[in-house]
Amino acid sequence: MSNTYVIGDIHGELTLVNALLQKIHIDFQKDRLIFLGDYIDRGPASKEVLSLMEELQQKGAYCLMGNHEHIMLSVFTHANARKFEHWVTVAGGRATLESYGYSPSYIEEHLFKEAYTDETLHKHLRFIETLLPYFEKEDTIFVHGGVDPEKDVKETPVDQLLWIREEFHLNYHGTKTIVFGHTPTSILHKDKNNHSPYFGENRIIGIDGGAVFGGQLHCLVLPSKQVISVSKKE
């Protein structure tokens, strides 16, 4: 029997993802491992998490793109100082830059992309370019944010796949199950203390347990729908 293991938003929490991977026993010969994106920003070890993703991708894991990887790629690709500053000061990019060895004061004084030439960082940007916007199976779609309820996933702009929230949560009515991250499940449960995966009646499964905000990091196992979780409180 082969399993599909799906892991949600990591956001630099290397210790948590390592603890979670230790709890599951993946046989890359027959099992499938899927990461839903948001490896970076806010948490302490974005660089290390990206290195781990590269390593696991080489072993056969599917690493999808999150909106945070999309932001990082775009602020390093396009010359827009305001966007760079927004990533660093609002979107959690500061923690990502720190993980590559830049000090808080250096970052404060250098809010533009040209100041960051670290080799590993640029290698990771090339890795981020290879991330898939979604992964579709016969009966399930895996995606960071969600799908446009009125469009075929293949025709949906990447921006929407990575950013969509309520419009998808409330109106999705397709036949395929959608497994997604991006929106902390406490929001979907409307209960700030409930970080467990959200199984919607409209075949949507949200698994971002908000680990970086003190919630949980989940691994959803398919087809059983078993959930394996870790948190910082353990």
Contacting positions for Mn ion (CB under 5 A): 9, 38
Nearest to Mn ion of 177, 183 (CB atom): 183
User: What is the nearest approach in angstroms of Mn ion to the Cβ of residue 119?
Assistant: 27
Cβ nearer to Mn ion, comparing 9 with 98 = 9
- What are phi and psi for residue 83, nearest 5 degrees? -65, -40
Nearest approach in angstroms of CB 9 to Mn ion is 4
Measured from the CB of residue 53, what is the shortest distance to Mn ion in angstroms? 15
Nearer to Mn ion, 38 or 69 (CB): 38
Closer CB to Mn ion, residue 150 or residue 159? 159
Nearer to Mn ion, 118 or 166 (CB): 166
> In angstroms, what is the minimal distance from the CB of 127 to Mn ion?
18
| Nearest to Mn ion of 1, 90 (CB atom) | 90
C-beta atoms surrounding 58 within 10 Å: 8
CB of 188 to Mn ion, least distance (A): 13
Q: Which two tokens stand for residue 183?
A: 């929106």
Report in angstroms how near the CB of residue 21 gets to Mn ion at its nearest: 19
Which residues are within 8 A (CB) of 36 and not within 5 positions of it... i.e. 6 or more apart?
6, 7, 8, 9, 64, 66, 142, 143, 144, 179, 180, 181, 182, 207, 208
